[in-house]
Copies of this chain bind each other. A is one copy, B any other.
Amino acid sequence: MEDGKLTYMRTERRDAAKNRQRILDTALMLFEQHGVEQVSMNQIAIEAGIGPGTLYRRYRNKGELCLDLIKDNVVLLFEDIDMYFEQNQSEPPSLRLKGILSLFIRFRENKAQLLKGVEDSEVTNRKKSRSPLYDELNQIIVNLFNEINAEKESQKNSVFQADMLLTVLKSDSYLFQREIRGYTPEEILEQICEIFIS
């Protein structure tokens, strides 16, 4: 039957589900123990007692694995953002932008290593499009810039501004400011706002 077939296609095989969980648990453990960067896909496969092929069948690279590990937090982030918007509808767009940047920075601080894992493998694997996380954030920021720029004639810049803002918030840049320049998250937020919200 159509139904049966569809259901079959959709449901995860029991052994697969077991392995999925095993991978997730193992990765989380190894990441916590040695740090995300130090742990190889091989190590995870071996420790999880599966073949490398099995691991790569599910996650095309370490980044996807990292992303799966923070998926819940990503959902929470966007819920927070939605909530923030609901509670601050009447605020000016520049302030709302700062608000959601603050939320994002908090998220980034919480999941620094895993987020870096995600982004690192995105650049390694030459993805043309950003991850869904960044696409969705980008959309939100573009909308806010559109509001901000509504006064001026130049609507077209919003996309560019949003791209630049997200570029500057990527791991490489953010962690450089954090670790080498020694700025606090709050200072970074302030400085970025000064540049991008003028």
A interface: dominant SS: helix
How many chain copies does the complex carry? 2
Which residues of chain A from 105 to 149 have a CB within 8 Å of any chain B CB? 120, 123-124, 128-129
Q: How far is the CB of A40 from chain B (nearest CB, A)?
A: 15
CB-based contact B177/A160 at 8 Å: yes
Q: Interface residue count for A (Cβ, 8 Å)?
A: 26
- Complex contacts, A176 vs chain B, CB 8 Å: 163
CB-based contact B157/A194 at 8 Å: yes
Q: How far is the CB of A179 from chain B (nearest CB, A)?
A: 8
A164 to B163, CA, bound (A): 13
A183 to B163, CA, bound (A): 13
A50 CB-CB contact with B under 8 Å: no
Chain B binder among A25-33, A51-59, A96-104, A165-173: A165-173
A173 to B195, CA, bound (A): 17
CB-based contact A173/B167 at 8 Å: yes
CB-based contact B128/A180 at 8 Å: yes
A168 to B176, CA, bound (A): 14
A29 to B128, CA, bound (A): 27
A90 CB-CB contact with B under 8 Å: no
Of B129, B160, B167, B195, the contact of A161 (CB 8 Å cutoff): B195
- Complex contacts, A168 vs chain B, CB 8 Å: 164, 167-168
Which residues of A line the B interface, CB within 8 A? 120, 123-124, 128-129, 157, 159-161, 163-164, 167-168, 172-173, 176-177, 180-181, 183, 191-192, 194-196, 198
Known: A129-B180, A163-B176. 7 other contacts (CB 8 A): A123-B123, A123-B172, A157-B194, A160-B181, A163-B173, A164-B195, A167-B168
